[in-house]
Amino acid sequence: MNSIASKSVAEFFGTFWLVFGGCGSAVLAAQVITSVDGTPINIGIGLVGVALAFGLTVLTMAFAIGHISGCHLNPAVSVGLVIGGRFKLSELVPYICAQTLGAIAAAGVLYLIASGKQGFAIDNTTAGAFATNGFGAYSPGGYSLLAAFIAEVVLTGFFLVIIMGATDSRAPAGFAPIAIGLGLTLIHLIGIPITNLSVNPARSTGPALLVGGTPLVQLWLFWLAPIVGATLGALLYRVFEKESSTG
């Protein structure tokens, strides 16, 4: 039995990896401009690459630390798993603290690396600056507060359904990290144009604290909506469980 201390340390480093890998791909690799015969060409990984990077961080950490902490890496997931009866309420606060601190540390390390490039600067008036989340003028696609809220609720809700379904004792053993990683990739493909996609309050907090300004003011949405979505997703899966057990 792993102690809460070892679980929290695992969640810290796991969330660090998620934010460093996912947000790092957006900050460092989404757009990489080179020149061919004097013509600027973007050889960056783009939206699809960033979405895949987020999925890969969860997939790799699920195999690395899943047996230690369950690999939540996300306060909303931890809340949802409490609601779903898969996680102890007594361990919720230490997990959320570890996840949030891991995300902040990752954003700090990412800033140290990114600021080493000549001409680097964070413009907190630009949508998605330093991989921040936002709505309205701070949405990559200009989506409203309502649209952002609905998207974050729905996408987080389905993410919880995927997590609870993939880790169900009746599911094929050993494949949960793949399903969860691909699920996170899919919801990023959908959600990046809307809010730069959060579905994870810790992931949103790290970059927002460094950028400040409106992204920090709007951070409340990226705590509220994912937690609401995770709660609804967990409740929905409990209905599935009940129906399948009585069917």
Residue 16 and residue 74 in contact, taking contact as beta carbons nearer than 8 Å: no
**Whole-number Cα distances in Å, 65 to 62, 72, 88, 156, 190:** 6, 10, 18, 22, 27
Where do the domains of the chain lie, and which CATH numbers do they carry? 4-242 (1.20.1080.10)
CA 239 to chain centre: 25
Report pLDDT for 124.
Answer: 86
- Pick the more confident residue, 72 or 240: 72
Where is average pLDDT lowest: 46-50, 115-119, 181-185, 217-221? 115-119
Tell me the backbone φ, ψ of residue 128, rounded to 5 degrees. Answer: 75, 10
Residue 1 has pLDDT above 90, yes or no: no
Length of the chain (residues): 247
One-character DSSP codes across 190-208: HHHHHHS--S-HHHHHHHH
φ and ψ at residue 142, rounded to 5 degrees? 75, 30
CB-count burial class (<10 Å; 0-12, 13-18, 19+) for 63 = middle
- DSSP per position, 27-75: IIIS--EEEETTEEEE-S-HHHHHHHHHHHHHHHHHHHHHHHH----SH
Q: Is the pLDDT of residue 247 over 70?
A: no
For residue 42, name the pLDDT band (cuts at 50, 70, 90): confident
List phi, psi (to 5°) of 198. Answer: -105, -80
Which is more confidently placed, 36 or 3? 3
**Minimal CA–CA distance to 102: which of 217, 218, 226, 203?**
203
* Structure confidence at residue 245 (pLDDT): 65
DSSP 8-state secondary structure symbol assigned to residue 26: I
Query: What's the DSSP call for residue 171?
Result: S
More confident residue, 44 or 12: 12
Confidence of residue 219 (pLDDT cuts 50, 70, 90): very high
Q: Other C-beta atoms within 10 Å of 116: how many? A: 8
**Residue 244 pLDDT greater than 80, yes or no:** no
Within the chain, residue ranges assigned H as helices are: 4-24, 46-69, 75-83, 92-114, 145-166, 176-195, 201-211, 213-217, 221-246
Highest averaged pLDDT of the listed ranges 43-47, 50-54, 243-247:
50-54
